[in-house]
């Protein structure tokens, strides 16, 4: 396909192409993508039948004069999560559970709210309409209390029924942006071209996207919207064409993660992350790469273990002589987060990452990507990233 | 002298004497024994429309050992000065016989002429008086019989085997609700706890006004309030409960009812003033005196009664028209570091009867504070129970509506059929009703299981050790709360046990395992308490521990009210 040919010459991408070949070889050795565990797409009738089964169980309990209860997997318990290099963090098959009882003062309200949201989902699926989590919250905000309650119950239902949120006809609001050498068609037939000067919002129906087309040599995940916009302003996508860049504007939403996963699954192009040299940035990068505890039950659909850390590396700070005045002392919270990340199971198989984190910990200083602007205003897009990409400066 | 008054005075005197005689032997133990009171009335031969009444008061059993008859007769006659009736003591030879234990039964007879209506009223007053005694002296049994022109009726007043809350100084409060309110109108299945759960307040010293202080008492008067809602609010009906009435019971030393002066006397003013003891507006209660008390009933009549009227802001749905009664017991005890003589106790009784209002007014602030705090605790528990109940009902309503939404919206006829069949409903309306009822029953069952009122507390499967140990800690602190704080009483020179210490003694008594095997066996065997009248009884443990556990359960109700953990 033809895109505006404004990128570097082909030799620029030699290392990238080698990296890609290495990734493909690894995939072939590993037998392809790991078998999808956890959730699977379910048809509407399957979802309706699952909900009806749950209701029948509740009524049967009542008929036996027993208080009905839901058995929910402990999604956010480390004891139920294991790490696999090829998948990231995901739930074990026989995990511990907890009961949401109808006759317990502590849980009767949650029990009722689960039924409430199940009935909402039932109606959505039946009528083939969709709603976001926020929409559901606003159907009775006083009853739910806050959005977090709704979010958690929806995740619990998704985990309980073993279907992704999409199959429940609940959309998550997308906040991510994408730009670069990419075209696709949405489920409703809308054609999307991401080569515009301004970025395109990440679709809220990733599973419905089809006809993905790209020549991109790499996908760059950018932590912050400010950095993303800066790169857009610097015309980075054209200068480094063909490439794609995406941002989740901080902690990524589900759709942004689904899109990154979809692009990897479809094209197997190298994926790099550009985050601040601070614990928060590293954690965001880990979410894309290995997944989160909260969504570990959907890990197979969300994680891209092949992601590499491009920058800003803590070792870059010294290497580039970034002025100390641009650095920020780490807070106690930063230190605690860093210590927590270092203890996570996936860090053990990433010795270079560990080393970078130790450099950060020892210096007790952190740096934002914007620190590079002290070298020159377009240092990031003109020097730093091109050099990193050309010479394999990722870990 | 009014017809019924002599009976009360004589009975009081006998009980005081009895207590003093037994004090050295078993201090703090409940008085046990039986008194028989019989009135035989025949038409007077000398006056028209008048009955000649012969009253016999006799002991049955071993209670009046040591009663010096002549001294007693002299003292009784001085107490009953102005009493124009003929008062006889059965002759020494005829009245008693020495049994092998060396104790002496006694019998006294007096005769009065009364109008039939007066006799009827007096009988009702006496019955109420006896009822009032047994609810704090549950091991005393009264046989009260009346024979009028050959027509005989008898009633037994006893509460020996009913659940009680041991106070101290030989008194214990019977906590069976049926003494205080009639059974709720919406069916016995709705009321699953037959006890009240009194909260003891802080004791306060009552100062005696100077103009009545000339009695030369060598001790102090201590007021200890106790309050409870009746019936038990925790497992009450499906409807919200409001406070509809307030009943105040006044007791003097040894658990003897204080006889109030008549309503016309100025000294009764403090009881007419509804805000004298408690600022009811603080609890959004609009209280008016209730002068319409029905003597002819099974309930023990309060000394002071108020009605609670609906306030303007009380527009909640499902308010129970019957409502709950707030019971307030005011126990005035006498403490001295010297051995208390019988006549001194009698003098205290008289002082309290004649100058109660003045004594309360002298210590108004302290009295009001103590009562206010006690009532506040009870009402706060009630409020929490109501809120928790509301929260439960709201949640169950959401659950039912959600299930109905799915069931009625389903296009799967097999699913709908199975739902209806499972609950044995013929249509969706019936299904909804049964669904709601089923949820209600399963959750109520859990509340009952949790309720320490009727069932001994059991560990539930999901509780872990940490939670249980936390509850144990709460239980201990609740017991201390229930027992009051010994530091609150201003004057520490208390010879005997105060009311609050009595509860601690009970606890110590329990923990020392001092139950007799038979008593322990009876207590273990108790599953539910179902006495309906004072004369019917079942074993009931002194419930200091149970009430502390109930207080813990009520505090657990705060779980309903606090945000729950994320699912």
- pLDDT of B79 reads 66
Confidence of residue B234 (pLDDT cuts 50, 70, 90): low
CA distance A377 to A366: 20
Closest CB from A60, A123, A126 relative to B422:
A60
Which residues have C-beta within 8 Å of that of residue B505, sequence separation ≥ 6? B28, B168, B497
pLDDT single digits (tens) B449-483: 445 454 333 222 333 433 443 433 343 333 333 33
Q: Do B560 and A105 touch (CB under 8 A)?
A: yes
Q: Do A99 and B423 touch (CB under 8 A)?
A: no
Closest CB from A102, A152, A156 relative to B443:
A102
Q: Do B395 and A112 touch (CB under 8 A)?
A: yes
Per-residue pLDDT of chain A (395 residues; tens, 9 = 90+): 444 557 888 888 999 999 999 999 988 887 555 544 555 678 899 999 999 999 999 999 999 999 999 998 877 666 666 666 666 666 666 778 889 999 888 899 999 999 999 999 999 999 999 999 999 999 999 999 999 999 999 989 998 898 888 899 998 788 999 999 999 999 889 999 998 678 999 998 898 899 999 999 999 999 999 999 999 999 999 999 999 999 999 999 989 999 999 999 999 999 999 999 999 999 999 999 988 776 666 666 788 999 999 999 999 998 999 999 999 999 999 999 999 999 888 788 889 999 999 999 999 999 999 999 999 999 999 999 999 999 999 99
pLDDT single digits (tens) B26-52: 556 677 788 889 999 999 888 888 989
Q: Do B398 and A103 touch (CB under 8 A)?
A: no
Q: Could you write out the three-class secondary structure of A135-204? A: HHHHHCHHHHCCHHHHHHHHHHHHHHHCCCHHHHCEECCCCCEEEECCEEECCCCCEEECCCCCCEECCC
Task: Name chain B contacts of A45, Cβ cutoff 8 Å.
Answer: none
Closest CB from B391, B411, B439 relative to A62:
B439
Exposure b/e, A111-138, CB count within 10 A at least 16 = b: bbbbbbbbbbbbebbbeeeebebeebbe
CA distance A51 to A99: 18
Q: Could you write out the three-class secondary structure of B140-169? A: EEEEEEEEECCEEEEEEECCCCCCEEECCC
Task: Name chain B contacts of A67, Cβ cutoff 8 Å.
Answer: 442-443, 445-446
Q: Domain-by-domain residue ranges, chain A?
A: 44-171, 174-391
Q: Could you write out the three-class secondary structure of A234-265? A: CCHHHHCCCCEEEECCCCCCHHHHHHHHHHHH
Higher pLDDT, A388 or B124: A388
- pLDDT of B564 reads 43
Closest CB from B409, B424, B560 relative to A126:
B409
Q: Could you write out the three-class secondary structure of B533-555? A: CCCCCCCCCECHHHHHHHHHHHH
Q: Name the CATH topology of A174-391.
A: Dna Topoisomerase Vi A Subunit; Chain: A, domain 2 (3.40.1360)
CA distance B441 to B435: 10
Q: Do A67 and B442 touch (CB under 8 A)?
A: yes
- pLDDT of B359 reads 87
In chain A, whose CA is at the least distance from the CA of B563? A106
Q: Do B419 and A143 touch (CB under 8 A)?
A: no
In chain A, whose CA is at the least distance from the CA of B387? A105
**Average pLDDT in the B419-424 region?**
96
In chain A, whose CA is at the least distance from the CA of B388? A105
Torsion angle defined by CA atoms of residues B226, B227, B232 and B234, in that order, rounded to the nearest 10 degrees: -110
Q: Do A152 and B407 touch (CB under 8 A)?
A: no
Pair of tokens at residue A4: 């505006």
CA B562 to chain A, closest CA, distance in angstroms equals 9
To which residue do tokens 């590396």 refer?
A: A313
CA B226 to chain A, closest CA, distance in angstroms equals 29
Least confident of B137-146, B314-323, B383-392: B314-323
DSSP summary character for residue A382: I
Average pLDDT, chain B: 70
Q: CB-based contact (8 Å) between B92 and chain A?
A: no
CA distance B482 to A90: 52
pLDDT single digits (tens) B90-120: 544 334 444 444 445 677 888 888 888 888 8
Question: In this structure, are residues A159 and B567 in contact, taking their beta carbons and an 8 Å threshold?
Answer: no
- pLDDT of B215 reads 59
Q: CB-based contact (8 Å) between B422 and chain A?
A: yes
Most A CBs within 10 Å: which of B234, B392, B399, B407, as the mutation test of the A interface?
B399
Whether the pLDDT of residue B264 is over 50: the answer is: no
- β-bridge partners, B145: B38, B154
Task: Name chain A contacts of B409, Cβ cutoff 8 Å.
Answer: 122-123, 126
Whether the pLDDT of residue B226 is over 60: the answer is: yes
Question: Whole-angstrom distance between the N-terminal and C-terminal Cα of chain A?
Answer: 31
- pLDDT of B18 reads 72
Pair of tokens at residue B267: 């000294």
Confidence of residue B447 (pLDDT cuts 50, 70, 90): low
Q: CB-based contact (8 Å) between B566 and chain A?
A: yes
Q: Do B411 and A126 touch (CB under 8 A)?
A: yes
Q: CB-based contact (8 Å) between B561 and chain A?
A: no
Give the residue among A292, A322, A77 at the shortest CA–CA distance from B565: A77
- Percent of chain B scoring above 70 in pLDDT: 58
Confidence of residue B5 (pLDDT cuts 50, 70, 90): low
Most B CBs within 10 Å: which of A62, A154, A156, A160, as the mutation test of the B interface?
A62
Closest CB from A63, A145, A156 relative to B567:
A156
CA distance A98 to A74: 6
- pLDDT of B303 reads 87
Whether the pLDDT of residue B397 is over 90: the answer is: yes
- pLDDT of B214 reads 59
**How many helices (DSSP H) and strands (DSSP E) are in chain A?**
16, 17
Q: Do A105 and B462 touch (CB under 8 A)?
A: no
In chain A, whose CA is at the least distance from the CA of B415? A52
* Three-state SS at B38: strand
CA distance B220 to B205: 7
Most B CBs within 10 Å: which of A47, A56, A59, as the mutation test of the B interface?
A59
H or E stretch covering A77: none
Q: Do B402 and A126 touch (CB under 8 A)?
A: no
List, as ranges, residues 458-487 from B with C-beta within 8 Å of A.
462
Task: Name chain B contacts of A60, Cβ cutoff 8 Å.
Answer: 422
Question: In this structure, are residues B326 and B227 in contact, taking their beta carbons and an 8 Å threshold?
Answer: yes
Pair of tokens at residue B367: 């009295």
Q: Do domains A44-171 and A174-391 have the same CATH topology?
A: no
Whether the pLDDT of residue B186 is over 50: the answer is: no
CA distance B351 to B360: 12
Biggest CA pair distance of chain A: 75
Q: Give the highest mean pLDDT range of A51-55, A317-321, B10-14, B540-544.
A: A51-55
For residue A354, CA distances in Å to A220, A314, A346, B294, B341 come to 22, 11, 10, 85, 87
Indicate if A138 belongs to the active site: yes
Catalytic residue among A137, A138, A290, A379: A138
Q: Do B405 and A119 touch (CB under 8 A)?
A: yes
Give the class (CATH, top level) of A44-171.
Answer: mainly alpha
Confidence of residue B8 (pLDDT cuts 50, 70, 90): confident
- pLDDT of B242 reads 79
Pair of tokens at residue A54: 């749950």
Q: Do B406 and A119 touch (CB under 8 A)?
A: yes
CA B426 to chain A, closest CA, distance in angstroms equals 15
Q: Do B407 and A55 touch (CB under 8 A)?
A: yes
Least confident of A43-57, B167-181, B256-270: B256-270
User: DSSP states of B179-210 as a string?
Assistant: GTSPPPTT-GGG----B---EE---EEEPPPG
What is the Cα A326 distance to its own chain's centre?
29
In total, the C-beta contacts within 8 angstroms joining chain A to chain B are: 120
Most B CBs within 10 Å: which of A68, A96, A108, as the mutation test of the B interface?
A108
Closest CB from A49, A58, A148 relative to B566:
A148
Q: Do B402 and A115 touch (CB under 8 A)?
A: yes
């Amino acid at each position: 396909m033809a895109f505006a040919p404004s990128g570097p010459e082909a030799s620029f991408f030699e290392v990238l192409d080698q990296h890609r070949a290495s990734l493909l070889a690894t995939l072939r050795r590993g037998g392809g993508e790991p078998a999808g565990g956890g959730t699977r797409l379910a048809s509407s009738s399957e979802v309706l039948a699952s909900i009806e089964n749950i209701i029948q169980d509740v009524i049967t309990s009542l008929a036996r004069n027993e208080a009905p209860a839901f058995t929910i997997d402990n999604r956010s318990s480390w004891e139920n999560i294991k790490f696999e290099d090829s998948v990231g963090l995901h739930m074990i098959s026989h995990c511990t559970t907890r009961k949401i009882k109808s006759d317990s003062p502590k849980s009767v309200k949650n029990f009722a709210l689960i039924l409430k949201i199940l009935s909402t989902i039932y109606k959505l699926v039946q009528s083939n309409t969709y709603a976001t989590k926020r929409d559901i919250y606003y159907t009775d905000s006083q009853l739910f209390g806050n959005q977090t309650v709704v979010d958690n119950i929806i995740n619990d239902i998704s985990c309980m029924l073993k279907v992704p949120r999409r199959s429940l006809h609940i959309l998550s609001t997308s906040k991510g942006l994408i730009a670069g050498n990419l075209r696709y068609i949405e489920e409703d037939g809308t054609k999307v071209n991401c080569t515009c000067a301004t970025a395109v919002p990440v679709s809220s129906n990733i599973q419905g996207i089809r006809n993905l087309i790209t020549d991109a040599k790499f996908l760059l995940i950018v932590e912050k919207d400010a950095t993303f916009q800066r790169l857009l302003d610097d015309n980075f996508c054209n200068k480094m064409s063909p490439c794609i860049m995406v941002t989740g504007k901080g902690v990524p939403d589900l759709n942004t993660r689904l899109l990154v996963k979809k692009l990897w699954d479809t094209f197997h192009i190298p994926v790099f992350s550009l985050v601040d040299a601070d614990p928060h940035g590293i954690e965001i990068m880990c979410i894309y790469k290995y997944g989160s505890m909260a969504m570990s039950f959907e890990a197979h659909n969300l994680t891209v273990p092949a992601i590499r850390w491009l920058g800003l590396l803590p070792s870059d700070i010294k290497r580039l002589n970034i002025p100390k005045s641009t650095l920020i002392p780490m807070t106690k919270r930063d230190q605690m987060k860093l210590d927590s990340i270092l203890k996570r199971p996936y860090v053990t198989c990433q010795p270079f990452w560990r080393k970078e984190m130790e450099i950060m910990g020892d210096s007790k200083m952190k740096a934002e990507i914007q620190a590079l602007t002290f070298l020159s205003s377009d240092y990031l897009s003109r020097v730093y990233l091109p050099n990193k990409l050309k010479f394999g400066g990722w870990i | 002298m009014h017809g019924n008054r002599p009976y009360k005075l004589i009975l009081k005197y006998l009980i005081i004497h009895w207590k003093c005689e037994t004090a050295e032997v078993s201090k703090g133990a409940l008085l046990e024994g039986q008194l028989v009171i019989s009135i035989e009335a025949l038409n007077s031969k000398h006056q028209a429309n008048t009955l000649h009444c012969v009253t016999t008061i006799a002991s049955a059993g071993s209670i009046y050992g040591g009663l010096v008859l002549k001294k007693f007769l002299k003292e009784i006659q001085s107490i009953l000065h102005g009493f124009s009736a003929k008062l006889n003591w059965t002759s020494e030879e005829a009245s008693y016989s020495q049994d092998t234990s060396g104790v002496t039964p006694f019998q006294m007879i007096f005769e009065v002429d009364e109008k039939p209506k007066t006799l009827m009223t007096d009988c009702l007053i006496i019955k109420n008086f006896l009822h009032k005694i047994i609810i704090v002296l549950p091991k005393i049994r009264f046989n009260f019989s009346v024979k009028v022109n050959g027509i005989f009726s008898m009633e037994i007043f006893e509460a020996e085997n009913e659940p009680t809350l041991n106070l101290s100084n030989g008194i214990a409060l019977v906590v069976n609700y049926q003494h205080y309110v009639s059974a709720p109108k919406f069916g016995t299945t709705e009321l699953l706890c037959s006890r009240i759960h009194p909260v003891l307040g802080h004791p306060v010293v009552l100062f005696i006004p100077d103009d009545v202080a000339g009695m030369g008492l060598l001790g102090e008067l201590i007021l200890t309030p106790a309050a409870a809602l009746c019936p038990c609010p925790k497992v009450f009906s499906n409807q919200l409960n409001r406070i509809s009435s307030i009943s105040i019971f006044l007791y003097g030393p040894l658990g003897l009812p204080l006889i109030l002066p008549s309503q016309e006397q100025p000294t009764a003013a403090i009881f007419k003033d509804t805000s004298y003891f408690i600022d009811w507006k603080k609890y959004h209660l609009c209280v008016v005196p209730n002068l319409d008390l029905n003597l002819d009933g099974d309930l023990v009549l309060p000394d002071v009664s108020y009605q609670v009227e609906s306030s303007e802001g009380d527009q909640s749905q499902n308010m129970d028209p019957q409502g709950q009664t707030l019971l307030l017991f005011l126990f005035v005890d006498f403490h001295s570091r010297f051995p208390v003589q019988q006549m001194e106790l009698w003098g205290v009784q008289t002082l309290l009867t004649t100058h109660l209002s003045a004594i309360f007014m002298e210590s108004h602030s302290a009295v009001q504070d103590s009562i206010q705090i006690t009532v506040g605790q009870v009402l706060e528990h009630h409020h929490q129970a109501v809120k928790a109940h509301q929260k439960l009902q709201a949640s169950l309503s959401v659950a039912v509506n959600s299930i109905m939404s799915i069931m009625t919206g389903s296009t799967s006829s097999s699913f709908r059929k199975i739902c209806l069949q499972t609950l044995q409903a013929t249509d969706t309306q019936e299904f909804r009703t049964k669904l709601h009822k089923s949820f209600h029953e399963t959750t109520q069952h859990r509340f009952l299981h949790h309720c320490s009122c009727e069932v001994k507390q059991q560990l539930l499967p999901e509780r872990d050790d940490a939670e249980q140990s936390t509850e144990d800690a709460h239980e201990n602190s609740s017991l201390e709360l229930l027992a009051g704080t010994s530091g609150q009483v201003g004057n520490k020179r208390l010879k005997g046990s105060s009311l609050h210490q009595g509860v601690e003694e009970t606890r110590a008594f329990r923990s020392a395992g001092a139950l007799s095997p038979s008593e322990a066996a009876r207590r273990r065997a108790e599953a539910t308490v179902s006495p309906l009248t004072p004369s019917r009884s079942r074993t009931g443990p002194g419930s200091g521990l149970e009430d502390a556990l109930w207080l813990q359960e009520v505090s657990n109700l705060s779980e309903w009210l606090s945000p729950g953990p994320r699912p």
